[in-house]
């Protein structure tokens, strides 16, 4: 498989985009601590039938590091503008982790653009349904990543800018921190060293970390945007929610009351980083679901709920 990397200006931001294959567009949106290389092991399987579009999200990898715009609504606008810049008028959209909320909002806003939606291993704002998952609070790193720096919390001299707490603590130790997430996200199996090194490189340095943690600092705004969206409309795009460890079925439970056509799956013995840990199982779910309308299997995928793989 041949992957071409391009810099594409979308919504005023230069995005690094991996492109592979030809056919109907499939847009892949990664999370933390990932880049487009998250999709390394599924690109071959998708590129045989689709034009795969896998950007580094704003602030991540080789995309521009912006001062702001890390809320789900702006990221959805980035994705919409990227598809437009690439000449695509219809796309299946696949999001995982931090890529899920913008994928969801894009489908809510532009059901004419998003023909299929796949979301994985994330929550969608504060929508009901995730109470069991959140029974003991959100994962510990959410609060750590969102904590402001001294200047923002009022403990330093006015006008003196400081990085957030997480950036201050982690700069110089990025490799160990990223390794923890990659190990936890594959249930101890780890990832390909080339992919691991790409992730560590992408998140090394105070500015790279600031951008990454800005996603967490924008979560209250993202949640507000999601709440407004579901108050105004339902999700009409055919949707698949895929869980693993630790999110499991929580995302499906959040989406079911607001979605017209929803299929839920949980992949057993699979860590959070599904595309790297169990790519074959993921492809087995994506291939029939993403098939163009009228293809064998595409309709049946929407008629079964909560299957475990």
The encoded tokens of residue 226 equal 């999601």
CA distance 88 to 114: 10
**pLDDT score recorded for residue 148:** 87
Sign of CA dihedral 69, 71, 72, 73: negative
CA distance 255 to 127: 8
Cα torsion 68, 69, 70, 71 to 10°: value is 130
Q: CA-CA distances (angstroms) from residue 298 to 93, 150, 162, 255?
A: 15, 52, 51, 20
**In this predicted model, what pLDDT tens digit does every residue of 204-232 receive, in sequence order?**
999 999 999 999 999 999 999 999 999 99
Least confident of 29-43, 156-170, 280-294: 156-170
**In this predicted model, what pLDDT tens digit does every residue of 81-100 receive, in sequence order?**
999 999 999 999 999 999 99
On whether the CB atoms of residues 119 and 104 are closer than 8 A, the answer is: yes
> What's the rounded mean pLDDT across residues 16-36?
98
Confidence class for position 292, pLDDT limits 50, 70, 90: confident
> What's the rounded mean pLDDT across residues 10-31?
98
> What's the rounded mean pLDDT across residues 52-62?
98
Three-class DSSP labels, the chain: CCCEEEEEEECCEEEEEEEECCCCEEEEECCCCCCHHHHHHHHHHHHCCCEEEEECCCCCCCCCCCCCCCCHHHHHHHHHHHHHHCCCCCEEEEEEHHHHHHHHHHHHHCCCCEEEEEEECCCCCCCCCCCCCCCCCCCHHHHHHHCCCCCCCCCCCCCCCCCCHHHHHHCCCHHHHHHHHHHHCCCCCCCCHHHHHHHHHHCCCHHHHHHHHHHHHCHHHHHHHHHHHHHHCCECCCEEEEECCCCCCHHHHHHHHHECCEEEEECCCCCCCHHHHCHHHHHHHHHHHHCCCCCCCCCHHHHCCCEEC
Confidence class for position 301, pLDDT limits 50, 70, 90: very low
- Between 49 and 299, the more confident residue is 49
> What's the rounded mean pLDDT across residues 272-281?
98
Confidence class for position 19, pLDDT limits 50, 70, 90: very high
Cβ-based burial of 293 (10 A; exposed 0-12, middle 13-18, buried ≥19):
exposed
Backbone φ and ψ for 157, nearest 5 degrees, come out as -65, 140
CA distance 229 to 44: 35
- Between 298 and 185, the more confident residue is 185
% of the chain residues with pLDDT over 90: 88
Question: Would you say residue 295 has pLDDT above 80?
Answer: no
The encoded tokens of residue 13 equal 């931001």
**pLDDT score recorded for residue 237:** 98
**pLDDT score recorded for residue 163:** 81
> What's the rounded mean pLDDT across residues 15-26?
98
Q: CA-CA distances (angstroms) from residue 13 to 66, 184, 199, 209?
A: 8, 32, 21, 18
Question: Would you say residue 159 has pLDDT above 60?
Answer: no
Question: Would you say residue 154 has pLDDT above 60?
Answer: no
Question: Would you say residue 185 has pLDDT above 60?
Answer: yes
**pLDDT score recorded for residue 294:** 56
- Between 304 and 251, the more confident residue is 251
First-to-final CA distance of the chain = 27
């Amino acid at each position: 498989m041949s992957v071409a990397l391009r810099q594409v200006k979308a919504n005023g931001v230069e995005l690094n985009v991996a492109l592979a294959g030809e056919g109907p567009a499939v847009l892949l949106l990664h999370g933390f601590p990932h880049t487009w290389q998250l999709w390394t092991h599924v690109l071959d399987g998708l590129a045989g039938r689709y034009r795969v579009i896998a950007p580094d999200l704003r602030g991540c990898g080789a995309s521009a590091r912006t001062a702001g715009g890390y809320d789900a609504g702006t990221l959805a606008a980035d994705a919409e503008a990227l598809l437009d810049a690439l000449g695509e008028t219809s796309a299946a959209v696949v999001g995982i982790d931090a890529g899920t909320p913008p994928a969801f909002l894009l489908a809510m806003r532009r059901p004419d653009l998003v023909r299929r939606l796949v979301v994985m291993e994330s929550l969608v704002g504060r929508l009901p349904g995730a109470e069991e998952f959140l029974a003991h609070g959100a994962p510990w790193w959410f609060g750590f990543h969102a904590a402001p720096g001294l200047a923002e919390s009022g403990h330093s001299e006015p006008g003196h800018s400081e990085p957030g707490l997480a950036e201050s603590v982690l700069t110089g130790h990025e490799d160990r921190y990223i390794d923890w997430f990659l190990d936890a996200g594959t249930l101890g199996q780890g990832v390909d060293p080339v992919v691991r090194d790409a992730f560590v490189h992408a998140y090394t340095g105070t500015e790279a970390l600031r951008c990454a943690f800005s996603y967490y600092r924008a979560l209250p705004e993202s949640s507000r945007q999601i709440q407004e969206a579901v108050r105004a409309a339902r999700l009409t795009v055919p949707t698949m929610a895929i869980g693993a460890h630790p999110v499991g079925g929580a995302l499906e439970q959040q989406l079911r009351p607001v979605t017209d056509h929803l299929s839920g799956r949980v992949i057993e013995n699979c860590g959070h980083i599904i595309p790297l840990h169990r790519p074959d199982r993921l492809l087995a779910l994506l291939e029939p679901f993403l098939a163009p309308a009228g293809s064998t299997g595409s309709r049946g995928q929407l008629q079964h709920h909560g299957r475990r793989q």
